[in-house]
Structure 1
Amino acid sequence: MPIPSSSCGPVTSAWSLSAGGTKKRKRLILWPFAQRLTSANGDCPGQPDSGLKSPLFGQPLASLCGEEKTLPQPVQDLLAILYREGPATEGIFHKAASETERRDLKEALDKGDTVDLDSKPVHLLAVVLKDFLRNIPSQLLSAALYEKWMLALEKPSREEKIEELKEVADQLPRPNRLLLKPVLAVLHHISQNAETSRMNSHNLAICFGPNMLSPGTDSTLPLQVQKEMNDKIC
């Protein structure tokens, strides 16, 4: 699945050439985390203003990304800060934040106010990002693809599962893939620093899975069935 370039620069490659001309592996850092080239006001040299033209929460990703096919500036900033601060923040995405602060920050972002996100508690930013994902219509991983995601997990080997999951991911709308990649980069980076974050991939999946995909079935299903579905999603 091709990784898109950022609105302000290319993605940092996962490989570099050593002096002898051989490939050497280095840490993969996806945009927008390699370098903070954008500001809270959406300023970016040579790029149009990417400020919000509509509320941020509960809107289709296609309308938020607009003709420029870039993520909304507040989402870029949230992801960049969480990539930077998340690995050193114990219980990131698990611990709760002040409900009043959460509501106030969401309202400010929805109105398009300029907000200094760097000054906000990291746990608050984590909660607001989960709120944003939870409120995407049809969900980030697309409820319409739910059965295909689940069938991919039925493949007998890990390699076959991965290939099938890639094929399903390729069917996501472009705005969904545009957001999914940096979200996964944040989660992977945090899981690689589980000694400090106390959040391994399993813990992160429990926090994020239900916010990214659900079967869209009737909530009157038995609790045990709902639990089994959520476990599989995670």
Structure 2
Amino acid sequence: MVVDLRCMTEQHATKPVYGCSLEEHLQSSGRKIALVIEECIHILYPSGLEEEGLFRIAAGASILKKLKATFDVGVQTDMTEYHSDYHVVAGALKLYIRELPEPLLTYDLYDEFIQCMNVKDRGSRLQQMWSTVDKLPKPNFENVKYLIKFLAKLAEKSEINKMTPSNISIVFGPNLLRPRNSDPGSDVVSSAIQNHVVETLILHHDYFFPGGKFLFLIP
């Protein structure tokens, strides 16, 4: 797969992809789904879904740094170089999510998501959480949908890849949902609730994000 990354940096040459706000990146690149999210998932789906420990096993630091630089600099490159190591691609995606200035589930909705988990009745909890998801800004909603739909596909292969919804949420929970001015790892209880939010999104992805059957097919 050859991906032309130049148009993105030509429009916004001084701003790397990593660490750039989602809104700014999408506006400057004219994309609906963030470059790193879309391209990494295109590589990982479907052949990488059976890779054991995907997103959990650390990638090689040097090649991960190279892939990150490729996205940041913006050059026409043959991405098949990275098809031999799915952990590098997964690492690049996870790093992108982690380095967003604001988490995809947003700071403003953090308290609402946490409150949803305190609702004891399952049906009411899901309904309240649906209402919260629906408040996401459209760019965030579309990118969260794209990512969660993929993670749900990954979870379907958990007997092979060992990545259950719970295991996936441990990896992505603190990166997708965190409070403003948070101290990562300082509050075990809050981290567990954050993970539960992400696990719920994965388990009930068709409820929160209906459709998307052909979401990952390359045009």
Query: Is 2:131 aligned against 1:167?
Result: yes
**Structure-1 residue corresponding to 2:92:** 128
**Structure-2 residue corresponding to 1:40:** 3
Q: Which range is displaced more, 65-74 or 187-196?
A: 65-74
**Shift of residue 71 of structure 1?**
2.0
**Shift of residue 211 of structure 1?**
1.0
Give 3-state SS (helix, strand or coil) of 1:156's partner: coil
Deviation string for 1:123-178 (max 9, x for gaps)? Answer: 00101101111111221110221100001111122211111111111111111111
TM-score between both structures, scaled by the size of structure 1: 0.73
**Structure-1 residue corresponding to 2:192:** 231
1:118-197 residue pairs with structure 2 within 5 A? 118-120=80-82, 121-197=85-161
TM-score between both structures, scaled by the size of structure 2: 0.78
Aligned mate of 2:55, from 90, 93, 112? 93
**Shift of residue 50 of structure 1?**
6.0
Say if 2:107 and 2:178, in contact at 8 Å, map to a contact too.
Answer: yes
**Structure-2 residue corresponding to 1:62:** 23
Rounded Cα–Cα distance in structure 1 between residues aligned with 2:64 and 2:180: 26
Unaligned runs of 5+ in 1: 1-37, 43-48
Higher helix share: 2
Say if 2:55 and 2:91, in contact at 8 Å, map to a contact too.
Answer: yes
Q: Which range is displaced more, 167-176 or 196-205?
A: 167-176
Say if 1:138 and 1:144, in contact at 8 Å, map to a contact too.
Answer: no
Give 3-state SS (helix, strand or coil) of 1:115's partner: strand
**Structure-2 residue corresponding to 1:108:** 70
Identity among equivalent pairs (%)? 24
Q: How many residues align?
A: 188
Q: Higher relative CO (CA 8 A, sep ≥ 6), structure 1 or 2?
A: 2
User: RMSD in angstroms over aligned alpha carbons?
Assistant: 2.2
1:4-19 residue pairs with structure 2 within 5 A? none
Rounded Cα–Cα distance in structure 1 between residues aligned with 2:184 and 2:59: 30
Deviation string for 1:171-206 (max 9, x for gaps)? Answer: 111111111011001110010111111110000000
Give 3-state SS (helix, strand or coil) of 1:144's partner: coil
Change (3 A) 1:191 1:118: same
Say if 1:90 and 1:196, in contact at 8 Å, map to a contact too.
Answer: yes
**Shift of residue 69 of structure 1?**
4.9
Change (3 A) 1:41 1:66: same
